[in-house]
Amino acid sequence: MTNISFDNILINFGFGTKEEKKKILSENSEKKIFMDLTCYDPSAFYSEFPQLKGTFAALFCDELKKIEIHFKERDQAVINKLVELGFTPIEISIISCGFVFPRTIVQIINEAYFALDEGVAKKEDINRAMKFGVNYPKGPFEWSEGKEIYVLTLLEELFHKTQDKRYIPSKLLK
Amino acid sequence: MDIKKVVVIGAGTMGSGIAQWFTQQMCSVELVDNSQEQLLKSLQSIHLSWDKLLEKNKLSLEKITEMKRSLFIKSLDEVSKDADLVIEAIIENLDVKKDLFKKLDNHFSSQTILSSNTSSFPIELMATAVSSERKKRFVGLHFFNPATIMKLVEVIKAKDSDERLCQDLYQWFESNDKKPALCKDSPGFIVNRVARNFYGEPLRIVDSDDEFKMKEIDHILREVGGFKMGPFELMDLIGIDVNYSVTCSVWEAYKREPRFAPHALQKQMVEEKRFGRKVKRGFYKYD
């Protein structure tokens, strides 16, 4: 994880366990904190940590670096800093575990892994089918490459929160 | 493998598109339908599309003249027995398809490849209608709409399909500017299975009939995700009834596996006849 501090603001980037994220929040209670919570439920963090003023989802962003950001308290300085770092923040009002884009694609990725495990097709064929059959910008395995831990963490978080079996991850992700 | 003579059965949207695409690859194509009226309508529409390409200088007059000479409309009894490839694209009714394949098996040469463009039924079930020898030359070829534009063809290998034949078809499509994907005969094949959660998960994020949230999700998935359309606007375009039916069909085929379960809102909308753009009312209003 990386922290960037300026004025009385702390922006926390990167992947960490829930406990690691909470530790940062606890240790910086005097600051306004904006945190990447791609794999978790922001509402649970907001209610526990009043110093958390905004959350964003950057773990799945590609070279365009477009990210969802939710503000409990909007702060233009944070937007400016993210832009300075090369991000394009898209402000959202929906608070959802896994935000919108990560939550949607981890389910697509999970299904692709189930299909792979069942021998339905090879990775390249699944990627190709989704790009050229329904115009997806990337194939499921292109989205997940090197990010399997984020996919797995978010699926487990969604299952933990909802107890819905639709979020049980493919064993290939474990 | 060389495919020169193709028969397409069914002159609906998919059949017409498939026939047009094969003709554009300079194959001789025979388009078949029970309805002469539908055949004429399809032929006229394909010719019109080529005339537009000529106007835009995308194809030469010589090529278009040659293509028009290579596309025929026929009744099933009239089609050439020595076709290289037959593609069935009729209504999604298993019994009707099986009856048709029985006739096709008797009609065509032993070398002819029989295939189905079905998105709903296992290829193996349709192959039960043909001889054991033909089963080796029986595959699924699933095109996407519009077939002249969408690059993907799912090449589906059924239990008895010849492995080499599937590889050859894959190569042939690849060399003719398609993007084939080889897959096993399983419900939804690749796309109709893996794409289900592009609709299912946003529905669960919204979890209510909230147009404001849907608009926001469509915006996020276009802007952040890079999708050409958001899930709600896309479902409205496809048809809520059509999308719900595919979802239910995949869900049932996988023995009601929770990952494929339809959302209650889809069912409610079908009951309320909010079918999407075609009735000007779906997730959004189109007045």
- Is there a contact between A101 and B216 if contact means CB atoms under 8 Å apart? no
Residue A55 near residue A67 (C-beta atoms within 8 A): no
- The DSSP annotation for B212-278 comes to HHHHHHHHHHHHTT--SS-HHHHHHHH-HHHHHHHHHHHHHHTTT-GGGPPPHHHHHHHHTT--BGG
**B150-194 pLDDT tens trace:** 999 999 999 999 999 999 999 999 999 999 999 999 999 999 999
Of B150, B202, B213, the CB nearest to A104: B202
For the stretch B48-101, pLDDT in tens is 999 999 999 999 999 999 999 999 999 999 999 999 999 999 998 999 999 999
Total number of residues shown for chain A: 174
CATH class of B5-191: alpha beta
Q: Name the E strands within B109-175.
A: 113-116, 138-143, 152-157
> How many CB atoms sit inside 10 A of residue B83's CB?
26
Residue A121 and residue B182: Cβ atoms within 8 Å?
Answer: yes
Is the complex ipTM higher than 0.85?
Answer: yes
Which residues of chain B does CATH 1.10.1040.50 include? 195-279
Query: Which residues of chain B have a CB within 8 Å of the CB of A140?
Result: 194
Contacts 24+ apart (CB under 8 A), A142-148: A143/A60, A143/A105, A143/A108, A143/A109, A144/A109, A144/A112, A147/A59, A147/A60, A148/A173
The domain A2-92 is placed in CATH, from the list 1.10.760.10, 3.40.462.40, 3.40.30.10, 3.40.50.720, at 3.40.50.720
pTM over 0.90? The answer is yes
Question: How distant, in Å, are the alpha carbons of A100, A136, A162, B189, B279 from that of A103?
Answer: 5, 16, 13, 23, 31
Q: Where in chain B is the domain with CATH 3.40.50.720?
A: 5-191
Distances, alpha carbon A71 to alpha carbons A46, A81, A103, B31, B248, in Å: 10, 15, 19, 58, 38
> Residue B127 in contact with residue B153, Cβ under 8 Å?
no
Q: Which CATH class is domain A103-173?
A: mainly alpha
Chain B nearest CA to A4, separation (Å): 23
Q: Which residue of A has its CA nearest to B146?
A: A133
Return the residue of B nearest to A64 by Cα.
B224
The CATH code for residues B195-279 is 1.10.1040.50
Q: Which of residues 129-148 of A touch B (CB under 8 A)?
A: 129-138, 140
Model pLDDT for residues A30-75, shown as the tens digit of each residue: 999 999 999 999 999 999 999 999 999 999 998 889 999 999 999 9
Closest residue to B227, CB basis, from A110, A128, A137: A137
Nearest partner of B97 among B73, B130, B145, judged by Cα:
B130
Q: What share of chain B in percent tops pLDDT 70?
A: 100
To 10 degrees, the CA torsion angle through B256, B259, B263, B267? Answer: -30
Q: Which of B191, B216, B261 sits opposite A129 (nearest CB)?
A: B191
pLDDT at B287 over 90: no
The residue ranges of every structural domain in chain A are: 2-92, 103-173
In tens, the pLDDT along B29-43 reads 999 999 999 999 999
